[in-house]
Amino acid sequence: MTSFASHYKGLNAQSTDNEDEDYPPQFTTLNHEIEKSKWSHIDDLDEFFTRVYHYHQNHGMPSLIFTEFLNLFQIMFLSLFSIFMLECVDYNTLFQNQHVISDKKNNSIVEKRSIHDVIFPMDQCVKNIGFRIWFAIVIVIIFWLFRLIKAIYNIARYAEIRSFYISALNIHTSDLPNITWHEVQEKLLQLQKKHHLCVHKQELTELDIYNRILRFKNYEVAMVNQGLLPPKIDVPILGQLILLTTGFKYNFEFLFFWGPFAPFQNCYQLRPEFKIYSKRADLTAELSKSILILGILNLILSPVIFVWQLLQFLYNYTELIKRDPSVLGSRRWSNYGRLYFRHFNELDHELDGRLSRAYKPAILYLSSFVSKFLAVIAKFFVLTFGAIFAVLIILTVYDEDVINVEHVFTVISITGAVAGIARSLIPDENFVYFMDQMMFQVLAHVHYMPDSWKEHANSYVVRDEFVKLFQYKFVYLLEELFSPLITPFILIFWLRPRAVNIVDFLRNFTVDVVGVGDVCSFAQMDTRRHGNPRWLSKTNNKKSYQARNGKTELSLIHFVHTNPKWKLPVESMAFIDQLKDQAIKEVSITEENNMTKTLDTNQISASTNKQNAENSLNKSLYHLQSLVYNSTIPNNLIKSINHQQPLNLQTQSQEITGQMPRGAVSRIEGPLFTNKQQTLLTIAQASTLQLSSQGLPLLPGPSIANALESSLDMCFSALYMHELHRKYHHGDYIDLDNVKEENDDETENIFEMNQKRPLLGSNNKKSKYTHEANEESESDDEDDTNLTVTSYNENAYLTSNRVNTLKLAHTTQPNNFNANV
């Protein structure tokens, strides 16, 4: 493997005959002349930092303790209540299939039933329990005892974390809601210098902490990015289904990360044989056997797990569906979507914050697809079922005995639910939809999507692909309900044949970082090794080593935003500087064009306006403006924006800092306040005066250092990166002469090669996969992550995009939207 300048060492990706060179260097312990404290030289820093993070996010011990014990109580209650309803209730008496015997002479007397009449005595209830129920009880007891031991262990460990927060970090439980994770992390970095939490390094970095907390999650994100996950199965009529259920994820993590036969021998080190190419065949056979055994075990336990899933579904959602049937028509980000949109080194609360902000524009985008046929059918169902529901309700109000008629209550429940669901399918006739703008609003927050989505947002093909990432709630519930029955077959017939791909992935994309251990090489966000030339990275690596869809570049930008004090490696700093230089050049071009507009020549003025409209920086600002109005920003900022007056940045920053509440900030992404520094949005601020003359309102000054500004800055950075990528892809890119097309012979996908060829290092350049890759490289690289649509005419897109941008001011927007285009 080609060596590269970094603070970590990579593993050889190609075959080698010298097995001694394949073994990684061993850690060496540093001798520090500092008195060892209780928190010095922690054995398992992965678990320790993870618990520190969860302790902070859950605001201390009370919620953690209650969560553990309430989960135990829930298991016990669901089990006992289900057995009671199956074996201890006299349903013949309950349903009045027989009279109630209530006198001492055993005479049948029809009278009002009591609770005692429909419940069997305890001894008879025990006799009714059959072998299958006893078998289920034994399994539940074993599972409950396991959870009890785990709960006690977790509480004991969190008690240590509580002591650590109080004694070492000097943070009390009552202060946790008022402290961001970034502040806790800063204290951890300072504590390393005093107590040496990690024995292998003198100082820790922000990236070290993230790598330890997200060690295995980064592998999952990389596998999704490289096409190894999720399971995709073609089903007749239904088409392609993505089945990344919670049950499959649990089994996958058990197999490859923390199970007894996992490739990782402990939490921070890959088994040495997985780093040796010559052991590839043996490891593939071993891994295939483990997958087969786990699949068979899942198949044996699937009936019990399915019944448990069914009970949880009934107890959790029956009341909710009865009260609000439209909840089934709501949407959520799928498990696949959460991994697809996740950056490398992104914590849970950071991901949740981004996806929560993207939820509303995603709903509006999907609501833009109106089916007249479906609307007509929905109106018919609303009328018919609503009429039946209304009549029965009126009769019940008039005479409550109507409810005692057999199945009347059932009819009321069903008709009300159907009418509610059908009503949710009727579109709002007064809403004006703008699909392209909604898609760009989604992109600003999720940061990833194929180019074809942005260009053809109004296509039903794009909509169907987006739905796989943003699924209906009832689809998610059905997937989880039937997951116990489906997961065994996915393990045996889908995952098992791909064992060799996973072995190759772990060997090729694992690096040994000093003081951290073995981590996914993508998690280092090295743009030279895993960057993509089409996303501004300077790299000559094979395409199979490049992250798709700009994942490396955007992850690096996001990490810099959330950790502004992180000392970037030389290569990463060069990439960030190159991006800023590109933005500065575009600002200069805009200024030059505006100076040209002062000439009294209509032709030159029209040409200048066209150049400004095609400017990537300006187009990103156009897409960002709608986010400004949909965000919660101080009223004085909105007033300044609407009046298009420049902001007094210093005074405004001090005013916001003084007014910002210090409460419920534990889930803030990054620091709450930062020192003023140059970002892409600050560079763009230099051109907003010129843009305001074209109809774009001024944006709030990015030197206003707060959490909102950081979020908007990251939104703008993502939009700008995608605009640069689109321009380069379409051949209209400025100042990128140094970026060259990848060699077509190096565009092979690593997993396709392994499926076709026995050796990873084979030099068979005439493989049909190479030819296919060459054809795909003409349209784009693997950035589109297998989500493709039919190619459309580029010129038509560019023209419609400019027209739609001008139409933005005439679409339905919030009341404070005063753009003058």
CA atoms of 230 and 336, how far apart (whole Å)? 7
The amino acid at 489: F
pLDDT of 26 > 70? The answer is no
Q: Could you tell me what percentage of the chain is helix, strand and coil, using 3-state DSSP and rounding each to the nearest 5?
A: 65, 5, 35
pLDDT of 737 > 70? The answer is no
Peptide bond into 488 cis (omega under 30): no
pLDDT at residue number 627? 62
**What single-letter DSSP state applies at residue 240?**
E
Q: Name which of 26-30, 151-155, 224-228, 532-536 the model is least confident about.
A: 26-30
pLDDT at residue number 620? 76
Region 430-439 average pLDDT: 81
Residues 6+ apart with CB under 8 A from 604: 596, 597
Specify whether the CB–CB gap between 155 and 62 falls below 8 A. Answer: no
Specify whether the CB–CB gap between 525 and 560 falls below 8 A. Answer: no
DSSP secondary structure, 628-685, as one string: HHHS---HHHHHHHHTT----HHHHHHHHHHHS--SS-TT-SS-SS------HHHHHH
Q: Highest-confidence range of 5-14, 47-56, 200-209, by mean pLDDT? A: 47-56
Specify whether the CB–CB gap between 243 and 490 falls below 8 A. Answer: yes
pLDDT at residue number 520? 98
CA atoms of 73 and 423, how far apart (whole Å)? 38
pLDDT of 131 > 70? The answer is yes
The token pair at 412 is 């009321």
pLDDT of 292 > 50? The answer is yes
Question: In which band, very low, low, confident or very high, does the pLDDT at 633 lie, cut at 50, 70 and 90?
Answer: very low
Say which residue, 251 or 131, is predicted with more confidence: 251
Q: What sections of 332-434 are H helices per DSSP?
A: 335-340, 348-367, 372-398, 408-424
CA atoms of 285 and 298, how far apart (whole Å)? 20
CA atoms of 226 and 505, how far apart (whole Å)? 9
Question: In which band, very low, low, confident or very high, does the pLDDT at 327 lie, cut at 50, 70 and 90?
Answer: confident
B/e letters for 135-148, b = 16+ CB within 10 Å, e = fewer, are ebeeebeeeeeeee
pLDDT of 790 > 70? The answer is no
B/e letters for 421-460, b = 16+ CB within 10 Å, e = fewer, are bbbebbbeeeeebbbbbbbbbbbbbbbbbbbbbbbbbbbe
Give strand pairing partners of 684. none
Question: In which band, very low, low, confident or very high, does the pLDDT at 98 lie, cut at 50, 70 and 90?
Answer: low
pLDDT at residue number 199? 87
Q: 436-466, pLDDT tens digit by residue?
A: 888 999 999 999 998 888 778 989 999 999 9
pLDDT at residue number 19? 42
Say which residue, 522 or 772, is predicted with more confidence: 522
pLDDT at residue number 755? 40
Specify whether the CB–CB gap between 640 and 700 falls below 8 A. Answer: yes
Region 569-592 average pLDDT: 86
Which is it for strands 470-472 and 8-10: parallel, antiparallel or unpaired?
unpaired
Region 93-106 average pLDDT: 61
Q: 114-126, pLDDT tens digit by residue?
A: 788 889 999 999 9
**What single-letter DSSP state applies at residue 89?**
B
Say which residue, 93 or 55, is predicted with more confidence: 55
CA distances from 139 to 132, 148, 230, 304 (A): 11, 14, 31, 9
Q: 482-527, pLDDT tens digit by residue?
A: 999 999 999 999 999 999 999 999 999 999 999 999 999 999 999 9
pLDDT of 644 > 70? The answer is no
Q: Name which of 279-293, 327-341, 549-563, 584-598 the model is least confident about.
A: 584-598
Specify whether the CB–CB gap between 677 and 561 falls below 8 A. Answer: no
CA atoms of 628 and 606, how far apart (whole Å)? 28
pLDDT at residue number 676? 56
pLDDT at residue number 555? 98
Question: In which band, very low, low, confident or very high, does the pLDDT at 303 lie, cut at 50, 70 and 90?
Answer: very high
pTM for the full predicted model: 0.80
Specify whether the CB–CB gap between 508 and 13 falls below 8 A. Answer: yes
pLDDT at residue number 759? 32
CA atoms of 185 and 191, how far apart (whole Å)? 10
pLDDT of 764 > 60? The answer is no
The token pair at 188 is 């951890």
**56: burial class by Cβ within 10 Å (0-12, 13-18, 19+)?**
buried
**134: burial class by Cβ within 10 Å (0-12, 13-18, 19+)?**
exposed
Neighbours of 600 (CB within 10 A): 7
CA atoms of 44 and 26, how far apart (whole Å)? 17
The amino acid at 339: L
Specify whether the CB–CB gap between 287 and 254 falls below 8 A. Answer: no
Shortest CA distance to 560 belongs to which of 547, 577, 584, 539? 577
pLDDT of 304 > 50? The answer is yes
pLDDT at residue number 667? 87
Across the chain, mean pLDDT equals 77
